[in-house]
Structure 1
Amino acid sequence: MKRNIVIAAVTAAALIGGGTATALATSGEDDPGTTSRQADVKGASSDDRDDDADGRGDDRDDDRADTDRAASVKVTAADALAAALKKAPGTAVSAELDDEDDGGDGERAAWEVDVLSGDGTWHSVRIDPASGKVLGSEKDDEDDTDEVRAVLKGTSVDAAEAARAAAGHGTVTGVELDEDGHYGDGEVAWEVETRSSGDDERDWRVDPRTGKVTADRSHDSRSDDDGSDDTGSDDD
C-alpha cells in the first residue's frame, strides 16, 4: 500500500510540471525476496549445527562401541598372532581387531592377522577374540613382499612382543609394521593402537630392535592433553 501511494504522487508531480520526473521510491516494508533469503540462511545454519551435533553424537557412539568391543576381548593381540601362525606359519606382520559378518543380521568382532609365509605368500587369518579359534584363512596378493622382508631382517622384536610391550597402556586393538616411518625419517617401527576404559584411543611406536615404547604423535593429537611425556615409557 505505501509503495502505491508514493508512485501515484510521483506520477502526479510529473504531469503537473509538464516534464519528465525520475524518482527512486523506497518502502519501509521488507522485500519478500530478502526476507526469504535471510530465512534460508538461518535455516541452513541451523541444519549445519544439527548435522555437527549428529556427527559428534555418532562419533561418541562409535567410540563407545569400540571400547565395549575391546573390553569384551578375551584373546589378546599376542595370543591372536600366535594362533594365526599355527594356521599359517611364517612372520606375522599385522593384527587388527575388526568386525566381520556373523552370517546372520549383524557383525561380530574378529582378529584379522596378516602373515607372510616363507615362500612369499601372504595369508589373512581371522581369529575369534573370545575363544582363539581360527574362523577362516585366505591368501592375499601383495606387491611389497621384498620390501617387507628387507625390513624384517633388521628387527629383533616381533609383532607379538610389540603388542605385549604396549599392553600396559590399554587394550591392544591393532599392531602393524611401519616400514616407511610416519615422521618422514624412514625409521622403522611397530605401530600399536590401544584403547582404554575411558574411550581413549592411543597410538604407540615400538622400536623393532629394543622394544622401547613411545607415544606416536603423528597420529594422536590428544597425547599433549593427558600428561604423557614426550618420550613415552618402557614397559619391559
Structure 2
Amino acid sequence: MKRKLVIAAVAASVVIGGGTAVAFADDEARTGAAEVRAAGPVAADRAEGSTASSSKATAAEVIAAALRHTPGTAVGADREDDGADAGTWHVDVVQADGVERTVAVSPDTGKVIGVHRDTDDADDARADLAALKGADVDAREAALAVAAKGAVTDVDLDDDDRATVWSVDTAKAGEWQVDVRTGKVTQELDD
C-alpha cells in the first residue's frame, strides 16, 4: 500500500512539475510577440559592418513579424536614425478596412514592441492599397531581393513616377528600385 502511495505521489509531482515548466517556457502565445530567425538569403542583410547591420533582425524579418502581429499589407518599413527610437524598425501596415497602423519592432529580438494607429493617412493608405493591386512582389520580398546588395535600412512604396516600385535603401550600397509586378531590381540613380 505504501509503495502505491509513493508511486502516485512521484507521478503527480512529475506531471505538475512538467506542466509548470511548459507553462513558463512558452509565453509567446500569451504576449502576442513573435520572434523571427534568419535563414538562407536573408542572412545577407546582415553582411555589412554598419550601424544598420548591427541589428540582429533584418528588414525582411521585421516586416514578417509586423504582419504576423498586425495582419494586412506592409507599405513601408524603416529603421529610425535618431531620437529615443533610434534603431527601432517601424513597419507601416494597411489593414483590410483601410486603417494604417505603424508597428514598432525591436532590432535586437525581431519582436513587436508597440503598435499605433495612423489617423492622418487614411487617403494615403487607400492609395497605397490601390497601387499594389495586382502586385506580385510585397515589401518583404523587395527587402529580400535587395539584401544581397547591402544591409537594408528602408523599404517604401513609390508610385509617384511612371511605374509603382518598392524604393529600397541600403546602408552602404545606395538606393534600389524593385518593380512590384516583375521583381526586377535596378539601382536608383541620383536626379
TM-score (structure 1 length as normaliser): 0.56
Cα pair 1:90 1:116 within 8 Å, conserved: yes
Aligned to 1:84: 66
Q: How far, CA to CA, are the matches of 1:68 and 1:165 in structure 2?
A: 19
Aligned to 1:45: none
Aligned to 2:165: 189
State the AA in 1 paired with 2:90. E
**C-alpha deviation, 1:71, in angstroms:** 2.5
Q: CA RMSD in A?
A: 1.7
Aligned to 1:207: 179
**C-alpha deviation, 1:187, in angstroms:** 1.2
Q: Secondary structure at the match of 2:76?
A: strand
Q: How far, CA to CA, are the matches of 2:157 and 2:115 in structure 1?
A: 20
Of structures 1 and 2, the one scoring higher in RCO (CA 8 A, sep 6+) is: 2
**Measured at CA, do residues 91 and 68 of structure 1 come closer, stay the same or move farther in structure 2, by a change above 3 Å?**
same
Q: How far, CA to CA, are the matches of 1:100 and 1:128 in structure 2?
A: 15
Cα pair 2:156 2:166 within 8 Å, conserved: yes
**C-alpha deviation, 1:100, in angstroms:** 6.2
Q: Percent identity?
A: 45
Q: How far, CA to CA, are the matches of 1:129 and 1:89 in structure 2?
A: 20
Cα pair 2:149 2:173 within 8 Å, conserved: no
Q: How far, CA to CA, are the matches of 1:75 and 1:88 in structure 2?
A: 18
Aligned to 1:93: 75
Unaligned runs of 5+ in 2: 1-48
Matches within 5 A, 1:16-165: 68-99=50-81, 102=84, 108-141=86-119, 142=121, 143-165=123-145
Provide runs of 4+ in structure 1 moved above 6 Å: none
**C-alpha deviation, 1:163, in angstroms:** 0.4
**C-alpha deviation, 1:124, in angstroms:** 0.3
Q: Number of matched residues? A: 141
Q: How far, CA to CA, are the matches of 1:160 and 1:145 in structure 2?
A: 18
Q: How far, CA to CA, are the matches of 2:83 and 2:113 in structure 1?
A: 11
Which is higher, the Rg of structure 1 or of structure 2?
1
State the AA in 1 paired with 2:76. S
Q: How far, CA to CA, are the matches of 1:90 and 1:173 in structure 2?
A: 21
**C-alpha deviation, 1:108, in angstroms:** 3.8
Unaligned runs of 5+ in 1: 1-66, 220-236
**C-alpha deviation, 1:178, in angstroms:** 0.4
TM-score (structure 2 length as normaliser): 0.69
Aligned to 2:160: 180
Q: Secondary structure at the match of 2:87?
A: strand
Q: How far, CA to CA, are the matches of 2:115 and 2:81 in structure 1?
A: 15
**Measured at CA, do residues 213 and 159 of structure 1 come closer, stay the same or move farther in structure 2, by a change above 3 Å?**
same
Aligned to 2:148: 168
Q: Secondary structure at the match of 2:148?
A: helix
State the AA in 1 paired with 2:56. K
